[in-house]
Structure 1
Amino acid sequence: MRKISDILARKGGDVIAIDADTLVLNALRLMADKNIGSVVVTEHGEYSGILTERDYARKVILEGRSSDHTTVREIMSTDLPRLLPDNSIDTCMHIMSESNVRYLPVFNFNKLCGIISMSDVVNETILSHEDTIEQLKNYIQS
Structure 2
Amino acid sequence: MTNEHPNTNLHVGRIARKDVVSVSRDTTIDKVAQTMADENVGDVLVTENGDLVGIITDRDLVIHLLTDEHGTNILHGDESGIDRTAEDIMTKDPHTIDSHARVPRLLHHMNQVNARRIPVVQNEDVVGIITFDDLVVHLAGESEHVAAQLESLADVVHAESP
Is TM (by shorter chain) over 0.5? yes
Helix, strand or coil for the counterpart of 1:70? coil
Equivalence for 1:74: 88
Give the structure 2 partner of residue 43 of structure 1.
Answer: 48
Partners in 2 of 1:80 and 1:89 — Cα distance? 19
2:146 to 122, 132, 142: 132
Aligned to 2:107: 93
> Equivalents in 2 of 1:33, 1:100: separation in Å?
27
Q: String of CA shifts for 1:41-77, please: whole Å, max 9, x gaps.
A: 1112321111111211222221324441100011101
Structure 1 unaligned blocks of 5 or more: none
Q: Return the offset for 1:125.
A: 1.3
RMSD between aligned alpha carbons? 1.6
Q: Secondary structure at the match of 1:91?
A: helix
TM-superposed CA distance for 1:135, in Å, is 1.7
Q: Distance in 1 between matches of 2:155 and 2:22?
A: 49
Asked if residue 27 in structure 1 is aligned to residue 27 in structure 2, the reply is no
| Counterpart in the other structure of 1:13 | 18
**Distance in 2 (alpha carbons) for counterparts of 1:90 and 1:125:** 12
Question: What amino acid is the match of 1:111?
Answer: D
Question: Which residue is 1:118 aligned to?
Answer: 132
Q: Is the 1:102–1:117 contact (alpha carbons within 8 Å) kept by the matching residues of 2?
A: yes
Deviation at 1:141, TM superposition (A): 2.5
**TM-score normalised according to structure 2 size:** 0.78
Shift in Å at residue 5 of structure 1? 2.4
TM-score by length of 1: 0.88
Report how many residues are paired. 139
* Superposed displacement of residue 99, structure 1: 1.7
- The DSSP-based 3-state class of the residue aligned with 2:82 is coil
Return the letter of the residue paired with 1:101.
Answer: A
What are structure 2's unaligned runs of at least 5 residues?
A: 1-7, 75-79, 157-162
Percent identity, please.
28
When Rg is computed on C-alpha atoms for both structures, the one with the higher figure is 2
